[in-house]
């Protein structure tokens, strides 16, 4: 799982989603970890709990069975999703405009700067400063260039940001997000 969240609705359309090579690798590593480490660990604990006798009142057995179901659901989702994702491994154009995969530094009305990277909806992680290309912020930024002012529509009111810098390379020293 990327960060601490999962997609809220599984994409069953079969349409390819875009993902960075790093994001795809993280999903592959998650699936590998679930299959080779977590699932065997839970299966072993489930077998031990089942050996204790009456399963109907065995909280450990019930918990481990539920946990195994969640792992299997996530593995099925990842298997289907990894098959349809389109890896975007080429660097975006370096012409000062915001594209998928770019790092964007913005400044808000209070002068506070934040850096984001625009990534696919399967890999966003706010702790790493990654935002989904489908988010209102990314939609407002895509196609714009350094110096542009953008308005991000939010439920709690519009946010006005100025694009300070657009880079195709990862920053050497990340700004706080």
**Residue 93 pLDDT class (50, 70, 90 cuts):** confident
CA–CA separation, 165 and 177 (whole Å): 15
pLDDT tens, position by position, 59-85? 999 999 999 999 999 999 999 999 999
Q: 103-167 domain in CATH 3.10.50.30?
A: yes
What is the percentage of the chain residues whose pLDDT exceeds 90?
A: 70
Average pLDDT over the chain, rounded to an integer: 88
Mean pLDDT of the region 127-141: 94
Kindly list the domain boundaries of the chain, sorted by start residue.
18-88, 103-167
Would you identify the CATH topology of the domain 18-88?
Helix Hairpins (1.10.287)
Rounded-to-10 torsion of CA 163, 166, 171, 176:
20
Q: Which helix (H) or strand (E) holds 24?
A: helix 21-33
Mean pLDDT of the region 79-108: 92
Cβ atoms of 151 and 160 within 8 Å: the answer is: yes
**Phi, psi for 80 (deg, rounded to 5):** -65, -45
């Amino acid at each position: 799982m990327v960060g601490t969240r999962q997609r809220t609705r599984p994409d069953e359309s079969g349409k390819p989603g875009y993902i960075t090579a790093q994001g795809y690798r993280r999903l592959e590593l998650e699936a590998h970890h679930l299959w080779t480490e977590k699932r065997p660990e839970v299966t072993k604990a489930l077998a031990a709990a089942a050996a204790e006798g009456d399963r109907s009142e065995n909280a450990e057995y019930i918990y481990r069975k539920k946990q195994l179901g969640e792992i299997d659901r996530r593995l099925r989702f990842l298997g289907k999703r990894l098959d349809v994702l389109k890896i975007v491994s080429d660097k975006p154009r370096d012409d000062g405009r915001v594209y998928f995969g770019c790092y964007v530094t913005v400044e808000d009305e209070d002068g506070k700067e934040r850096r984001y990277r625009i990534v696919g909806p399967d890999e966003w992680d706010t702790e790493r400063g990654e935002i989904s290309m489908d988010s209102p912020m990314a939609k407002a930024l895509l196609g714009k260039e350094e110096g542009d002012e953008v308005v991000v529509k939010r439920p709690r009111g519009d946010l006005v940001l100025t694009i300070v810098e657009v880079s195709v390379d990862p920053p050497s020293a990340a700004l706080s997000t």
